[in-house]
Amino acid sequence: MGVGQAPVVKRPWLPRWLTSEHPFPWLFPAAALMVVFGLYPLYKAVETSLYKKNAATRKLVWDPDFNWTKVLFDERVWNALFNTLMYTGIALFFQLVLGMLIALLLDSDRKGYGLLRAMMTLPLVIPPSVTAMMFLLMLNGSFGVLARGLVAMGFIPPGFPILGDSSTAMAGVLLAEIWQWTPFMVLIMLAGLRSLPKEPFEAAAIDGATPVQAFFRLTLPMMSKVIAIAVLIRGIDLMRAFDYVKVMTDSGPGTATETMTSYAGRIYFGNADFPYASTISLLTLILVIVTSTLFMRIFKVKL
Amino acid sequence: MELSRRWQLLRDVAAVLVTGIFMFPIFWWALTSIKPISAVFDKDRVVWFDFVPTLINYGVTLFGMSRSQLAIDDGLGMGVAGSSSYDSRQSILDSIIISVGSTAITMVVAVLAAYALSRMRFNGRDSFLNWVLGQRFMPPIAILVPMVTIYAGLGMRDNQNLVLGYVGIILIYALMNLPIALLLLKSFFDDVPQDVDQAAMIDGATRWQSFSKVVLPMVKGGVAAAAVLCFIFAWTEFLLSLFLTTQIRAIPVKIQTFVTSTGNEWGFITALGTAAIIPSFIFILLVQRHLVRGLTLGSLKE
């Protein structure tokens, strides 16, 4: 490659930590970006949450306990927390089960399956806000094709506003979420399935194990690491869900689909109460940190 | 395991059916974009294929054609209020500038850091990796509130100066994509044996030379995959661009403005939406091979 002949450029006047032999110059741009746009705003968010917004004068007053006490007794926070956890749990369950089933279905070397697998990846790259619009269109009470289908099957009365009724709005939002991100699980499960060794399955088949037994006794245990990583990454993204809720229901009707993130957004835009919006945002961060750390400890996963 | 022919046929049918179900929303979306208004809003029946296709929605959103033409063609005299707000050419340009700009910055920053984290042994290496990972896990909303205030203070949010506005969004997207790009690139660098750059350095190359002339060319595929993923994530991002700028309307935000108090302009929404997802579809098919690794931050390989 000619590197052998390249003269070694030595710059003795440069301190060693500024040369390429030292990690500093390599890491500095990344560190700078993460400090300026990550740590500093985070510090400002914590600081902002310690102020109280005076409703009358619209001034910020130093009052460290105010927002953090308020948050504990705010029923809407508990509602949003419940919605966030329910949203995360239901979506994870469906994405995991459907993802595994579809992966098993598509895991074949036959002709045409490669095309089907490639098609399955397409939903992943649609902007979530556009996906939300897709389902808004299909779930529209008066002309939505999906709503019409549900009416024809007798599940809902004609003209029923699925996203406008507090009993079904969350299901409607979840439908978009599950549609878009089940392919994520499919892809990861497929990668996991393809990396499994063949011998245990051959041995099991000789011993007369049924495919179902082989799945539960062999496939699942051997895939546990892959499943744990998929659940961790997906779960973190689910807990900060915003786009679908914002576009499809705007947290409504009432607070039926309000999640932590969308509640913070509502406080921010609606009341311009920056300190309280910061507090709720930080609570979301704490939720993510606590649950992901617990998950990583319990299931012994490391990314 | 061998399946009997009947079971195999059943499996083929099921596989096609399931994929079809997942393709349906995209199909319906694209179909709606070429329907005339009357077919979209038909309250009596679902219109499948019995309509006269029209490209007017694309004409208005992508080429800035007059909206009044739409009303004339459709034989409806409904609310023709001018076309400027549906002309999305500026938004497409904004999205391209933001996505390309942030991808470029992310890649430069991430390639450098990933190389060092893969190749050098130093104190705090694991802490740095954890910091990066933590950055990936941080909900954007946590930094959003102060960022809005900071950007507004710097004149980056209301964009009297458009360039400042672009810089602001590009930098925040670069941060958003940094962890995934960095961890993905690190996993590609880890695949290259350490002996490779050791040999180059024994031959007298500096660290920089062994990186730029030897190792980097060996991970070209990985760099391309990471760049494509960064581009797609920037292209589809919604929350940050919704809050952090008032003048720059990236496509995901622009589409939301077609939701009006009198009704949703589904024709324009679906046309712009369809146009916006086509580049992503092309890109994602190009990096199929590295997709799983990218989505799992380099921890699973296909």
Shared domain check, B245 and B136: yes
What is the phi/psi pair of residue B264, to 5°?
A: -90, 135
**Could you read off the pLDDT of A132-170 as tens digits, one per residue?**
999 998 998 878 888 888 888 888 888 888 898 888 999
Of residues B132, B178, B176, B134, the one with CA closest to residue A289: B134
**Mind telling me how many Å the CA of B69 is from chain A's nearest CA?**
24
What would the pLDDT profile of B95-126 be if each residue is shown by its tens digit? 999 999 999 999 999 999 999 999 988 899 99
Question: What pLDDT, in 10s, does the model give residues A87-137?
Answer: 999 999 999 999 999 999 999 888 899 999 999 999 999 999 999 999 998
User: Pick from B60, B84, B108: which residue ends a domain?
Assistant: B84
| pLDDT surpassing 60 at residue A5 | no
According to CATH, what is the number of the domain A67-298? Answer: 1.10.3720.10
State residue B99's pLDDT score: 95
Best of B9, B22, B182 to substitute, by most chain A Cβ atoms within 10 angstroms, is: B22
Q: What is the pLDDT of residue A2?
A: 42
Query: CB under 8 Å to B30, separation ≥6 — which residues?
Result: B270, B274
B window 259-288, beta carbon within 8 A of A:
264, 266, 269-270, 273, 276-277, 280-281, 283-285, 288
| pLDDT for A126 | 92
Nearest to B288 by CA among A226, A36, A124: A124
In a domain, B281, yes or no: no
Kindly state the tokens that stand for B56: 């007017």
Residues of chain A neighbouring B206 (CB-CB closer than 8 A): 8-9, 19-21
Cβ-proximal residues to A220 (8 Å cutoff; 6+ apart), any chain? A227
B5-49 pLDDT, tens digit per residue, is 888 899 999 999 999 999 999 999 999 988 887 777 777 777 788
Percent of chain A predicted with pLDDT > 90: 46
Q: What is the CATH number of the domain that holds B115?
A: 1.10.3720.10
Each residue's pLDDT tens digit, B238-269 = 888 888 888 888 899 888 888 876 677 888 88
Q: Is the pLDDT of residue A236 over 60?
A: yes
Q: Could you identify the residue written with the tokens 């974009």?
A: B33
Residues B37 and B176 in one domain: no
Find which of A63-72, A84-93, B68-77, B198-207 is predicted with most confidence, using mean pLDDT.
A84-93
Percentage of residues of chain B with pLDDT beyond 70? 91
The model's pTM is 0.88
- Indicate if B101 and B246 belong to the same structural domain: yes
> Nearest residue on chain A to B10, judged by CA atoms?
A105
What was the pLDDT predicted at B43? 73
What pLDDT score was predicted for residue B69? Answer: 59
Residues of B in contact with A133 (CB under 8 A): 255, 269, 273
Tokens of B259: 């939701």
Give B3's pLDDT tier (boundaries 50, 70, 90): low
> What is the pLDDT of chain B when averaged over all its residues?
85
Give the amino acid at A297: R
**One-letter amino acid for residue A58 of the chain:** R
* Domain end position, chosen among B66, B84, B102: B84
Query: What pLDDT shows up at residue A61?
Result: 83
Work out the minimum CA distance from A167 to partner chain B, whole angstroms: 23
Mutate to test the interface with B, among A9, A16, A17, A20 (most CBs of B within 10 A): A20
Note whether B65 and B159 are same-domain residues.
no
Q: Which domain holds residue B145?
A: 91-266+286-295
Question: Does B76 reside within a domain?
Answer: yes
| In a shared domain, residues B118 and B184 | yes
pLDDT tens, A258-285? 999 999 988 887 878 888 999 999 999 9
Is residue B272 in some structural domain?
no
**CB of B225 within 8 Å of any CB in chain A?**
no
Q: Percent helix, strand and coil across chain A, each rounded to 5? A: 70, 0, 30
Q: Give residue A4's pLDDT.
A: 43
Q: Are residues B78 and B109 in the same domain?
A: no
Residues B158 and B23 in one domain: no
> What is the rounded average pLDDT of the residues B44-68?
79
Residue-wise DSSP of A59-122: -EEE-HHHHHHHHHT-HHHHHHHHHHHHHHHHHHHHHHHHHHHHHHHH---STTHHHHHHHHTG
Question: Residue B79's pLDDT is what?
Answer: 46
Verify that B77 and B117 share a domain, yes or no: no
How big is the A-B interface in CB pairs under 8 Å? Answer: 280
User: How many separate domains does chain B show?
Assistant: 2
d(CA A92, CA A21): 45
Q: Determine, for residues B214 and A124 on separate chains, whether the beta-carbon distance falls below 8 Å.
A: no
Q: Is the minimum CB–CB distance between B120 and chain A shorter than 8 Å?
A: yes
A121·B143 Cβ contact <8 A: no
How many residues are listed for chain B in this entry? 302
Q: Are residues B80 and B96 in the same domain?
A: no
Domain residue ranges in chain A: 67-298
- Domain stops at, among B84, B110, B136: B84
- Predicted local confidence at residue B302, as pLDDT: 64
Note whether B68 and B97 are same-domain residues: no
Preferred mutation among A95, A119, A130 to probe B, highest tally of B CBs within 10 A: A130
Say if residue B251 is in the same domain as residue B121.
yes
Note whether residue B247 is domain-resident: yes
Name the B residues in 62-81 with CB < 8 Å from any A CB: none
Q: Where are the alpha helices (DSSP H) in A110-223?
A: 113-120, 128-138, 145-152, 169-194, 199-206, 211-214, 220-222
Contact A126 B277 (CB under 8 A): yes
Taking CA–CA distances from B199, the nearest residue in chain A reads A4
